[in-house]
């Protein structure tokens, strides 16, 4: 009922974690690999060349409707996520693809990490993160269309070369991007043009909405410490922006779309799929509820599908109705 495909990757269910939440440490990745949990992919925290401890605490805060974070890319370094891919996949009985999220601090760092990933047969693809809002002094690549085009072109070359070698061993490799939210149609179109001239296969829409400010009114204090309290906003309040991004990129590219933003119930996942998502990722709600959230959301989605007589997610994916 929930089977799906992103690029050439077959997934048992259409739900998994958003990068960043419970996917930094070895034990967290092992939990994501657990065949008893309904998530269908093991997606790592975005990694850099060197390990990072990230920004000062407190750097995460949530309310009923939203979360704010300025984690600052804490991760164990790409070598850790590459070297442990086979152990973590083995724990999933090789049923869940292992996708490396990458957010190198320089273009060269990204190319180095992508080369390592495509040459590792236990890594099934990358989600190149063009949208981290929280590294001080590093603007989001997804908002600089010149650099975005350059990084995608070079990443494509590396991946094509690596794919040829993998073909002999029979395993595919997904080239995905994680995009920032776009708000203006001209920006949507510029991003689509670049993507349509590349061999990118999947788009995760959207990363957190950058540089929001949340206030703890009782203390009259910013909710998080780094960057004077500015951070990426996630959770229920970002769902309309996420849906618009899913919808636009679904209609204007050939990529598989992975919806991310404001999903805590089956109906939220249903809406993302109606807009064109082939799968959904859970961030803020996963942070709150841990691994049980995947099954809960799928159970609710299953009831909605049953009540509407849909047997597979392809029966309604992208079928949102518009006024004439
Ligand atoms: O680590 C972070 O601060 C972070 C990242 Br890399 C990202 O892509 N999105 C986000 O909200 N936080």
pLDDT digit string, tens, across residues 211-263? 999 999 999 999 999 999 999 999 999 999 999 999 999 999 999 999 999 99
CB 220 within 8 A of CB 185: no
Residue 169 is predicted with a pLDDT of 76
Q: Which atom of ligand 1 is nearest to the CA of 71?
A: 3
Show contacts of 162-165: CB within 8 Å, 24+ apart.
162/115, 162/118, 162/119, 163/118, 165/119
Pocket test for ligand 1, best of 127, 133, 284 (most atoms within 8 A of CB): 133
CB 169 within 8 A of CB 124: no
- What is the pLDDT confidence band of residue 89, given thresholds at 50, 70 and 90? very high
CB 33 within 8 A of CB 24: no
Q: Which atom of ligand 1 is nearest to the CA of 129?
A: 8
Catalytic residue list contains 132: yes
Beta strand 42-43 pairing with 4-6: unpaired
């Amino acid at each position: 009922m929930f089977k799906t495909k992103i690029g050439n990757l077959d997934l048992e269910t259409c739900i998994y974690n958003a990068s960043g939440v419970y996917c930094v440490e070895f034990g967290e990745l092992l939990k994501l690999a657990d065949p008893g949990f309904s998530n269908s992919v093991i997606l790592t925290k975005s990694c850099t060349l060197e390990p990072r401890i990230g920004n000062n605490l407190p750097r995460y805060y949530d309310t009923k409707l939203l979360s704010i974070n300025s984690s600052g890319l804490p991760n164990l370094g790409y070598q850790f996520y590459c070297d442990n891919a086979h152990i973590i996949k083995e724990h999933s009985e090789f049923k869940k693809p292992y996708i490396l999220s990458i957010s190198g601090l320089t273009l060269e760092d990204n190319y180095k990490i992508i080369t390592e990933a495509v040459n590792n047969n236990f890594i099934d693809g990358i989600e190149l993160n063009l949208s981290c809002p929280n590294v001080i002094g590093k603007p989001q690549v997804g908002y600089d269309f010149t650099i975005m085009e350059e990084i995608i072109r070079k990443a494509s070359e590396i991946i094509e070369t690596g794919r040829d070698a993998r073909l002999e061993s029979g395993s595919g490799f997904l080239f995905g991007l994680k995009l920032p939210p776009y708000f203006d149609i001209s920006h949507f179109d510029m991003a689509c043009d670049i993507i349509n001239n590349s061999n990118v296969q999947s788009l995760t829409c959207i990363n957190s909405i950058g540089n929001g400010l949340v206030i703890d009114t009782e203390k009259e204090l910013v909710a998080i410490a780094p960057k004077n309290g500015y951070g990426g906003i996630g959770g229920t309040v970002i769902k309309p922006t996420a849906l618009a991004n899913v919808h636009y990129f679904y209609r204007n590219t050939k990529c598989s779309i992975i919806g991310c933003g404001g999903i805590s119930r089956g109906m939220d996942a249903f809406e993302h799929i109606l807009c064109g998502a082939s799968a959904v990722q859970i961030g803020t709600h996963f942070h709150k509820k841990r691994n049980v959230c995947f099954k809960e959301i799928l159970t609710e989605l299953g009831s909605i599908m049953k009540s509407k007589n849909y047997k597979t997610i392809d029966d309604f994916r992208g079928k949102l109705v518009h006024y004439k």
